[in-house]
Structure 1
């Protein structure tokens, strides 16, 4: 009987841990995505003229 109660308690604690993990993971995802976008936006903007140059170069030959 004690083993069964222990197993039930452990299962409940594991569910709480998993829920807390998911919540914390989701909270961290927001700032990570913002930082990634902030980093990638200027890189994409600076690459655009190079791509346009390459397109124009191919069209002129």
Structure 2
């Protein structure tokens, strides 16, 4: 079960970083609404990945 939790945590972390990168690209294109939405979604995914990885990495 630990391997599944760590693997899914890493996948969610990579997804969060990809979404945040897309938010930066949208901000460079002066599309502020989509940049805000992508940033909020990316931060939510980042929080979820931290919760998944907390037992294995520690506080």
TM-score, length-scaled by structure 1? 0.47
User: Per chain length, whose mean CA-contact separation is higher, i.e. which structure has more relative contact order (CA < 8 Å, sep 6+)?
Assistant: 2
TM-score, length-scaled by structure 2? 0.49
